Copies of this chain bind each other. A is one copy, B any other.
Amino acid sequence: IENKSDQSLLDLLQEVHFADIAEILHELTLEEATYIIKLLDSEKTSDILTELDSDLRDNILRNLSAKEIAEELLELDTDDAADIIADLPESRKEEVISYIEDLDHAKDIVELLRYDEDTAGGLMAKELVKVNENWNVLTCVKEMRVQAENVTRVHSIYVVDDNDKLKGRLSLKDLLTTSTKTAIKDVYIPKVDYVNVHDSAEDVARIMSKYDLEAIPVVDEIGRLVGRITIDDIVDVIKEEAEKDYQLAAGITQDVEADDSIWKLTKARLPWLLIGMFGGLGAASIINGFQDAMELYPILLIFIPLIQATAGNVGVQSSAIVVQGLANDTIGGEIINRLGKEFLLGLVNGIAIATVVLLVSHFLFDTSYLVSVTIGIALITVIVNAAIIGTFIPIFLDKKGIDPAVATGPFITTSNDVLGILIYFLIAKVILGF
């Protein structure tokens, strides 16, 4: 396709959805991608740019002039435009903004840049349809036609007073079924959910998905309507949250993809491996400290992987349930009850596993009576301990205002590994008396 005539390429891409073109660009070289972006008109390319990975987008934008970027931004909603500008180097930001021809658009973008991207202010767009409570339905419909030009999708019509304070909303349905002379004052719905510009993106996502909202108005500190957030942005927030939790559970510092460079992947993965490594060295020290056991009961050593794997698995299970419960706000009741429950659960699982292990090891490894008792009691204790630690740490972190998701994965596995092995040898020492 590349290097053929521009016209045939244009015709080919004309009918393709921008999200699909964005996918194609990821497969091409940077030169080819830039070439295509420059070839297409800005109405299409601006949408493509919003769909690209930030790495590729930054590289393409580096090849465009400030004026070209400004033209792209003019085609975008303010929230998408602000997201793109926010990623530019400081020096280019002002240059690009100065090239934006529509001054209102530029002003809106500058306002959005003020907010942290993880807050409602960072998510919202300035495009919305608002009407004054003192208008009647006819004026309202006329005004809406003008405003709707700039708004891709009309969800709700927001009603404000003369000071721009949010008063309520008006549904399109009501507007369709009311006489044109009715005053807006008399028909609007005064109950409306809203968020503050400084609310966190997570909170906005929770409110919108709890109440099944498709758009929510955003107000500033004194209740003035300043923007709205639509559900498609929230879908992205929910996905990113889920991915972050998943990656933390797997021991990957957030925000890497399979196609990132080896250097970037190493930076994301190595620190967690080092945690595991120090845990492993800690465990080595513990075992090394029980020289007597190693000499008198070498059979104990072959069960180290079993103790360790079990402790790690139980800890991850317990912490995952708690982390998910915290994220969904479904963790209720007293912390002591929850720990009591995990204790019982650990006991049930522990006894089940210890029974199987004792039967198998008796036949397979011909373990003596006392060694069997040691292994059984150790397994149950280790499982109960791992369950309680796995439950306690995320709840504790959450109470301290730290994301409990960091407690899952290598962190909890490693601490349970080390503690499990210590418990194992201590119990062995008591029972076998070395």
Interface residues of A in 332-375 (CB under 8 A from B): 332-333, 338, 341, 344-345, 348-349, 352-353, 356-357, 360-361, 364-365
CB <8 Å contact, B357 and A262: no
A225 contacts the other chain (Cβ, under 8 Å)? no
CB <8 Å contact, A309 and B414: yes
**Distance, CA A308 to CA B279, complexed state (A):** 11
CB <8 Å contact, B284 and A361: yes
Contacts of A148 in B (CB 8 A): 173, 176-177
Contacts of A365 in B (CB 8 A): 284-285, 288
**Distance, CA A353 to CA B153, complexed state (A):** 53
Q: Residues of A within 8 Å of B, CB-based: how many?
A: 108
**Nearest CB to that of A247 among chain B residues?**
B320
In-complex Cβ contact of A214 among B214, B272, B281, B410 (8 A): B214
**Nearest CB to that of A265 among chain B residues?**
B345
CB <8 Å contact, B349 and A259: no
Contacts of A301 in B (CB 8 A): 287, 294, 301, 304
CB <8 Å contact, B283 and A305: yes
Interface residues of A in 404-423 (CB under 8 A from B): 408-410, 413-414, 417-418, 421
**In angstroms, how far is the closest chain B Cβ from the Cβ of A314?**
7
CB <8 Å contact, A360 and B272: no
**In angstroms, how far is the closest chain B Cβ from the Cβ of A250?**
3
A141 contacts the other chain (Cβ, under 8 Å)? yes
A64 contacts the other chain (Cβ, under 8 Å)? no
**Contacting chain B: which of A4-12, A38-46, A233-241?**
A233-241
CB <8 Å contact, B274 and A356: yes
Interface residues of A in 232-288 (CB under 8 A from B): 232, 234-236, 238-239, 242-243, 245-247, 249-252, 256-259, 262, 265-266, 269-270, 272-274, 276-277, 279-281, 283-285, 287-288
CB <8 Å contact, A258 and B145: no
A324 contacts the other chain (Cβ, under 8 Å)? yes
CB <8 Å contact, A144 and B325: no
Contacts of A341 in B (CB 8 A): 262
**Distance, CA A365 to CA B286, complexed state (A):** 11
**In angstroms, how far is the closest chain B Cβ from the Cβ of A338?**
7
**With A317-B250, A414-B309 as contacts: A281 and B361 at CB distance below 8 Å:** yes
Contacts of A410 in B (CB 8 A): 313
A316 contacts the other chain (Cβ, under 8 Å)? yes
Interface residues of A in 1-46 (CB under 8 A from B): 17, 19, 26-27
**Distance, CA A144 to CA B17, complexed state (A):** 29
Interface residues of A in 186-224 (CB under 8 A from B): 209-212, 214
Query: Which A-B residue pairs are the 7 nearest by beta carbons?
Result: A280-B306, A250-B320, A242-B242, A283-B305, A258-B325, A284-B302, A287-B302
28 pairs, A vs B, C-beta closer than 8 Å: A19-B211, A19-B212, A27-B332, A145-B176, A148-B173, A238-B238, A246-B246, A257-B324, A257-B325, A258-B338, A262-B344, A266-B348, A269-B314, A269-B345, A269-B349, A270-B352, A273-B313, A273-B353, A276-B309, A276-B310, A277-B356, A280-B306, A280-B308, A283-B309, A288-B302, A288-B365, A301-B301, A309-B312
Which residues of A are in contact with B by a Cβ distance under 8 Å?
17, 19, 26-27, 141, 144-145, 148, 153-154, 172-173, 176-177, 209-212, 214, 231-232, 234-236, 238-239, 242-243, 245-247, 249-252, 256-259, 262, 265-266, 269-270, 272-274, 276-277, 279-281, 283-285, 287-288, 294-295, 298, 301-310, 312-314, 316-317, 319-322, 324-325, 330-333, 338, 341, 344-345, 348-349, 352-353, 356-357, 360-361, 364-365, 383, 408-410, 413-414, 417-418, 421
